[in-house]
Structure 1
Amino acid sequence: MINTGFPTEGPTLGEIGEEAVIHAIIEASPSAVNGDDAAVLHPPSPNSRMVVTTDMVVAGRHFRPDVTTPFKLGRKAVVQNFADIESMGARPLAALLSLSAPTSTPVAVVEEFARGIGTELDKYGTELVGGDVTAGENLVMSITAIGSLGGNRPPLTLTGARAGQIVVAHGRIGYSAAGLELLESGIDIPEVLEPLVLAYQAPELTPGSGLVARSAGATSMTDNSDGLLHDVGALARKSGVRIDLKSEAIAPDELLVQAGELLGVDPWKWVCEGGEDHTLIGTLQGEAPVGFRPIGTVHKPASETGSSSNAASVPVTIDGQPPVYTQGWESFA
């Protein structure tokens, strides 16, 4: 049974006040270093660098309260930030939460959101170490993730892909987009397709995957947040290479095909354009690291090969041909 909807009853934020709201968050996602003016974190090793990222979740823009729950949204907010830490080849250390919400928001919404955050942080052995709350016209949540990049290997950047490498992926592709479309369709979703819905509501990220890839010699990495073709295209352009994906490696699986038949949608659209799977996608020389699978190859740009074909001028191809679906998420569209 799929659980959706936000709490609508109980005390509101305006009724209990800022101090009580902060206390509710700390109770739901406790930390020994949360509660002072700032948290003091101890670096895991002397030979390490800090990695920091932040991402916002805005009601009506990034989520609809009727197709998810605060608990699942809290888990998702952590994953989308920790995926950015992992994609640098780093290890997440801690998270901070900034929250702006109408005073009429039930306290239960914030408590469940914080519990979701805490549940996901527990998988990494990390904590919610601070943040800020304020009243606002819309529900807006922002997670700041802090990570550590150990050792002397360089971080995994968007500029590190090189011709001759293979493209590898860790995680599902297209599930989140299919799950969202199922929820928005309003149909009675068959139980067999519920994994697609859960992939949208609370995508999974295997802790340490970025570290594994970096240790195995990966030189670049990103996560599928805005769409496979969009994100792989950004990696190709930043690195000055062409990437050819293999259709058999990214083809829609049985669940995506079933969902496509049910909704009358070509499941390849979810695979190519759907984001928020937060699948880690990287490049390296040699074999795919543990947990990763090969999905393509990296080639020299058209300017270096002398090719004038249409496919050669496209940053990302599938089986050597320009893809049919090329759109992705755009923040200001």
Structure 2
Amino acid sequence: MSVAKVGEFGLIARITTRLPVGPTVLLGPGDDAAVVTAADGRVVASTDVLVEGRHFRRDWCTAQDVGHRAAAANLADIAAMGAVPTALLVALCVPADLEALWAEGLADGLAAEAGLVGASVVGGDMSGSPTLTISVTALGDLQGRAPVVRTGARPGDVVAMSGRTGYAAAGYTVLSRGFRTPKLLVDAYRRPEVPYAAGPEAATLGATAMVDVSDGLLSDLGHIAAGSGVGADVRRDAFDIPRQMRDAAHALGVDPYTWVLAGGEDHALVATFPVDTALPEGWRVVGEVREGAGVTVDGRAYKGPTGWRHF
């Protein structure tokens, strides 16, 4: 049954019944606005948007996959500030002939990804549109920590990463060439594995700057370098390239480091730390902060693309 036949309020009712609420939610979906606790007294907020044909394709991803992707893009931004995500607000613009079951699957994916960090989908909006568009706003709690911003890196700091890069970009390339394997890469594109807990952990460890890798490692690390007025250097040998990625790169005629250094949507967290910081398991040093400007690779200017560009 299409969205048009179910109707706006019918679809809202079908979606909201699929959205459990957690302990931080005082009033969930169903009223003019939700009420969410903010024990810290500060609320971290971030918004992202996914447009069909630009950020996802329904022939590549299930509705649940798109829900996971939409939630992850926002939850990762909250984690990159050193905060714990608490809630999501979702605005959904849909064509009239979209199957209602697809929208329900999207809700399931959003709720499942949010549930990984104890967050809840607490409300949103809906409209008709010729282009399927999903806008998500995420809220988070700093729990007494100072936010970790992009402007605090200092020469001598190490650059460290939690999570992985290149997997989603490789999966995108595989899918765009008409293939559906390797599964490791395609699954990474469909549902990113985000190290959410590493964000608050980095803040507790004294990270001087942090960002999530949504557009590409070199591009996003470049935001830290520009904001902090420093340079940064990344080492290729710090990254492990799995066999499936090497094989796919060879078959497709791609340098796998293009995916690792410039590919986005894995939502790894990259942070700078004082050099004497004892990094826990899950973090690895991938470079260093230097005097200067921009981001280099193995001490030299990088010649290839550095990340995604919207325009």
Which TM-score bucket, shorter chain as reference? Answer: over 0.9
Report the Cα offset of residue 233 of structure 1: 1.1
Report the Cα offset of residue 188 of structure 1: 5.5
Report the Cα offset of residue 90 of structure 1: 0.5
For the 8 Å contact 1:212–1:289, the answer to whether it is kept is: no
Q: Counterpart of 1:49 in 2: which secondary structure?
A: coil
1:218, 1:96 → 2: CA distance? 29
Please show how residues 181-220 of structure 1 align to structure 2 within 5 Å.
Answer: 181-187=173-179, 189=181, 193-220=182-209
Corresponding residue number in structure 2 for 1:300 = 291
- What letter matches 2:225 in structure 1? A
Q: 2:306 aligns with which of 327, 330, 333?
A: 327
Report the Cα offset of residue 324 of structure 1: 2.8
Matched, 1:87 2:80: yes
Corresponding residue number in structure 1 for 2:66 = 73
Corresponding residue number in structure 2 for 1:138 = 131
Deviations for 1:146-179, whole angstroms, at most 9, x for unmatched residues? 001122x431111111111101101111000000
Tell me the TM-score normalised to structure 1 length. 0.88
For the 8 Å contact 2:74–2:138, the answer to whether it is kept is: yes
Q: 1:291 aligns with which of 282, 289, 298?
A: 282
2:20, 2:49 → 1: CA distance? 22
Tell me the TM-score normalised to structure 2 length. 0.94
1:26, 1:279 → 2: CA distance? 30
For the 8 Å contact 1:92–1:126, the answer to whether it is kept is: yes
1:14, 1:187 → 2: CA distance? 34
For the 8 Å contact 2:225–2:232, the answer to whether it is kept is: yes
- What letter matches 1:144 in structure 2? T
For the 8 Å contact 1:250–1:295, the answer to whether it is kept is: yes
Deviations for 1:263-292, whole angstroms, at most 9, x for unmatched residues? 121111111221111000000112324421
Question: Which moved further from structure 2: 199-208 or 130-139?
Answer: 199-208
2:279, 2:304 → 1: CA distance? 26
Q: 5+ unaligned residues in a row in structure 1: which ranges? A: 1-10, 302-313
- What letter matches 2:195 in structure 1? T
For the 8 Å contact 1:224–1:276, the answer to whether it is kept is: yes
Deviations for 1:295-330, whole angstroms, at most 9, x for unmatched residues? 0111111xxxxxxxxxxxx61111111123233211
Corresponding residue number in structure 1 for 2:24 = none
- What letter matches 1:297 in structure 2? E
Deviations for 1:18-44, whole angstroms, at most 9, x for unmatched residues? 11111111122233621111111122x
Q: 5+ unaligned residues in a row in structure 2: which ranges? A: 22-26
Matched, 1:228 2:221: no
- What letter matches 2:220 in structure 1? D
2:180, 2:280 → 1: CA distance? 39
1:235, 1:77 → 2: CA distance? 24
Report the Cα offset of residue 125 of structure 1: 1.5
- What letter matches 1:29 in structure 2? L
- Percent identity reads 40
Please show how residues 144-159 of structure 1 align to structure 2 within 5 Å.
Answer: 144-151=137-144, 153-159=145-151
Q: Counterpart of 2:147 in 1: which secondary structure?
A: coil
- What letter matches 1:263 in structure 2? L
2:232, 2:196 → 1: CA distance? 27
Report the Cα offset of residue 251 of structure 1: 5.0
1:176, 1:137 → 2: CA distance? 28
- What letter matches 2:33 in structure 1? A
Larger Rg: 1
Report the Cα offset of residue 123 of structure 1: 1.1
For the 8 Å contact 1:251–1:268, the answer to whether it is kept is: no
Corresponding residue number in structure 2 for 1:162 = 154
2:282, 2:101 → 1: CA distance? 37
For the 8 Å contact 2:195–2:269, the answer to whether it is kept is: no
Deviations for 1:241-266, whole angstroms, at most 9, x for unmatched residues? 11011111025332221110121211
For the 8 Å contact 1:52–1:147, the answer to whether it is kept is: yes
- What letter matches 1:28 in structure 2? R
Q: 1:35 aligns with which of 17, 30, 33?
A: 30
- What letter matches 1:149 in structure 2? L
- What letter matches 2:83 in structure 1? A
2:271, 2:280 → 1: CA distance? 10
Q: Counterpart of 2:266 in 1: which secondary structure?
A: coil
Q: Counterpart of 2:59 in 1: which secondary structure?
A: helix
Corresponding residue number in structure 2 for 1:268 = 257
- What letter matches 1:243 in structure 2? A
How well do the aligned residues superpose, as a CA RMSD in angstroms?
1.4
